[in-house]
Structure 1
Amino acid sequence: MQQYIEQNWLEGLGILTTLICVWLNTRQNIWGWLWAVVSSGIYGVIYWQFKLYSDMELQAVFIVLSVYGWYQWLFGGKEKTELPVSKMPYFQWIACTVVFIGFTLVSGYMHGNYSDASLPYMDSSLTAISLIAQWMMARKYVENWLLWISADFFYTGMYFYKGLYGTSILYFLLLLLAIKGYQDWKKSQDSII
């Protein structure tokens, strides 16, 4: 019973901090990156408890990408100015596709054959999409939200299946926020052109 209460407390805190983070990101507010670090730390512990190791590893990378994103948003523009929203160059899509396929196959195989991971290939593919989307967000590529929409849709089902009902609801809410983020960032990008 104590583990159930502790898990739900952690999950509730993870949900709250994640919603704050993503809401701030949709608004292009720099403080979203701080909340990303906090929520990633919390979810790293939760995913370890539920043997979703790829997602646990993802949280550590998210912390690093959050620091990178914070810097990029402040100084990643021309002459170290604020970074504007833009479209991702075509050649980077090719590189991201290669990273997605390679990461999914290697991570899924490793976790599926050398650990007690649950849903190793699904978990690994969603981790790959999330890594790419987070990097794209740090670079303020508007298409990051399209990847988040896809990932959040499948994460909603996976977490429901695993019994993480609060987190499943969170990812449904993140799906809605990702749609809003795409619309808002697209308007921001269009106003620059």
Structure 2
Amino acid sequence: MSGLEIVAVIVSALAVWLTARRNIWCWPVGCVSVMFYSQIFFDAKLYSDLLLQLIFFVMQLYGWWHWTRNRTHSQTLPDASRDEDKVHIMPRRLSVAGCWVGLMIGAAGSLLLGYVMARFTDAHIPWLDSALTSFSLVAQYWMARKYIVNWWLWIAVDVIYIGVYVYKDLQLTAGLYAMFIILAIVGLRNWRRELLQYESATPSVSLAAQNY
């Protein structure tokens, strides 16, 4: 356990908590946490996770732009907070077909990245690490697009990550991912409640897609 890991854990937990609250500051705080963990994973030879952090940095910028571009005014939503930093983005439903497409992309990315890491690097547990990296990218994209299903995928990925980080002697980070699971449950509950309130106030909203 290092001082850098302690700081990274605190910043990362703050970023996820802000995401669950739909606060736009989740994205710049997330950028800072990504930079910290890039160094941590490089030192631990978790190269797929290092690559993930670099891609996450770009996706954090994309999410920041997308949420800002698609924010709604609080007065248009029932019982909404007037906190200006809270982005009143409307959570969205993802169809079953869309969900399967995302999962298949995650599986394909797992195989491709796993082969590269196993063949050309000295990465530890390259196949599992690559699978977690690939599906994390899918979850991050779904989050940026405001799909509620992102929380379910994060929960599944985080459960496995806990075991990986315990194995790599990153106990504090493993504890962080246990906290992530709790925050993901909170985020799932908050986003679903927001969407249901909006649908109750606007009956014309289509309910054709499945909610996850």
Is 2:106 aligned against 1:104?
Answer: no
Q: Which residue of 1 aligns with 2:28?
A: 34
1:1-193 equivalent positions in 2, closer than 5 A: 8-76=2-70, 83-193=89-199
Q: Which has the larger radius of gyration?
A: 2
The AA in structure 2 aligned to 1:135 is Y
One-letter identity of the residue aligned with 1:39: S
Deviations 1:81-112 (A, max 9, x none): 96311112334223212211111001111111
Q: TM-score, normalised by structure 2?
A: 0.83
Residue-pair matches, total: 185
Unaligned runs of 5+ in 1: 1-6
Q: Percent identity?
A: 36
Provide the C-alpha distance between the structure 2 equivalents of 1:184 and 1:82, rounded to a whole number of angstroms: 12
Distance 2:57 2:146 in 1: 17
- Is residue 160–residue 168 contact of structure 1 (8 Å, CA) maintained in 2? yes
TM-score, normalised via structure 1 length = 0.91
What's the secondary structure of 1:187's corresponding residue? Answer: helix
Structure 1 vs Structure 2 CA RMSD: 1.6
Q: Distance in 2 between matches of 1:144 and 1:101?
A: 16
Structure 1 segments of 4+ aligned residues over 6 angstroms from their partners = none
Q: Distance in 2 between matches of 1:23 and 1:84?
A: 18
Q: Identify the structure with bigger relative contact order (alpha carbons < 8 Å, sequence gap 6+).
A: 2
Q: Is the 8 A contact 2:9 2:173 kept in 1?
A: yes
Q: Is the 8 A contact 1:153 1:172 kept in 2?
A: yes
Post-superposition shift, 1:75? 1.1
Displacement of 1:37: 0.2
Deviations 1:57-79 (A, max 9, x none): 1111111111111111111369x
**Could you tell me how far apart the structure 1 residues matched to 2:66 and 2:88 are?**
8
**Relative to 1, partners in 2 of residues 1:91 and 1:76: Cα closer, same or farther, differing over 3 Å?**
farther
Any conservation in 2 of the 1:129–1:151 contact (CA below 8 Å)? yes
